[in-house]
Homo-oligomer: A and B are copies of this chain.
Amino acid sequence: MSLNLQLVSWEESVAKHSIEEFVASAVDGPEAVPLPERIAVFDNDGTLWSEKPMPTQLHYVVQQWQDAIKADPSLAKRQPYRAVKDGDLAWLGRAIDKHYDGNDSDLELLVKAIVGLVEHNSVEDYARSVEEFYRTAQHPSLKRPYAETVYQPMVELLRYLEAHGFTCYIVSGGERDFMRSITEEYYGIPPERVIGSAYGLTYDWESSSLRYAASLSFFDDGEEKPKRIWSRIGRRPLLAVGNSNGDVPMLDFTKFGPRRGLSLLIHHDDDTNRGDPPYDAGAQSALAAAADRPYIRVSVKNDWTTLFPFTVQQRRDQ
């Protein structure tokens, strides 16, 4: 195996050794697993790339809303456009907090404005719009193209698993077709192996094409993740990686199957200013679950020697 298929950005610690031992046992010996059944699943936001200060998809949506306000300033009289115009991104966060308190009125405004962006668009038109975003967008705090906000240790893990006969899938709460535009280039994962939340689709007989409906078909998070894994793959994964509360069912589904599985929980505990700030928000119940389950905890601070294809300092010096 060539050097670039080693986990070079991983410290020589329990996390790396657990992965290597597990993969070796899946390839050879009494617990070897047939090739087609070596399935690995990866959350995206916070697992394969940075999700702070906001998921990339929200950046795209806000930019689209800003364009819509430019075209029709009267939109800014109502939410969520007013919040976007005023730069009040905290309003978006509060809409979600209110949802957990049983008040969905703001969340409904939010979802309605999100699906309104794609309604009637063909899947090809949407893909072009997303590709345009990625050509120019910069990560707001890391100040670099999103292509350089992928976690280098995870890209190495994808290649390492493939080199040992694994097939890797993304299983994310992010919107499926938004991810599909870049997963091949960023992660080497083709569109047929991208599982995510989905807008409704309608078939247009006149143009023989698919267009989006003004609806969210499902939100691929929590219990939905194992359900979508089954729908799409029809196999229970052998290895899973996540970082949030919504990843627990997927990590359990992988760990507690009839066969030995490996579930990794990434913990964003890095206070060294190498990249993302440390955070537990959205991961508290996953971290609590990990305490009484045989997950392997991956510390960003202690288990990864580097975060991005270029370090933040290298990028600043360019």
* Size range of the chain A interface in the assembly: 35 or more
Q: A192-B234, A234-B177 are in contact. Are A205 and B249 (CB under 8 A)?
A: yes
Name which residue of chain B comes closest to A252, CB basis. Answer: B208
Interface-lining segment among A81-89, A224-232, A279-287: A224-232
Distance A205 CA – B253 CA, assembled complex (angstroms): 9
Within 8 A of B (CB), among A236-290: 249, 252-253, 255-258
Min distance, Cβ A227 to any Cβ of chain B, angstroms: 4
Min distance, Cβ A83 to any Cβ of chain B, angstroms: 31
**Contact of A198 with B by CB under 8 A:** yes
- Among B194, B233, B249, B257, the residue within 8 A (CB) of A191 is B233
Distance A223 CA – B208 CA, assembled complex (angstroms): 10
**Contact of A180 with B by CB under 8 A:** yes
Identical copies of this chain, number: 2
**Contact of A133 with B by CB under 8 A:** no
Distance A68 CA – B194 CA, assembled complex (angstroms): 40
- Among B180, B207, B209, the residue within 8 A (CB) of A234 is B180
**Contact of A77 with B by CB under 8 A:** no
A-B contact pairs, 21 of them (CB 8 A): A36-B190, A124-B258, A176-B231, A176-B234, A177-B234, A191-B234, A191-B235, A192-B232, A192-B234, A198-B231, A202-B223, A203-B226, A205-B223, A205-B252, A207-B256, A208-B249, A208-B252, A208-B255, A209-B253, A210-B230, A210-B253
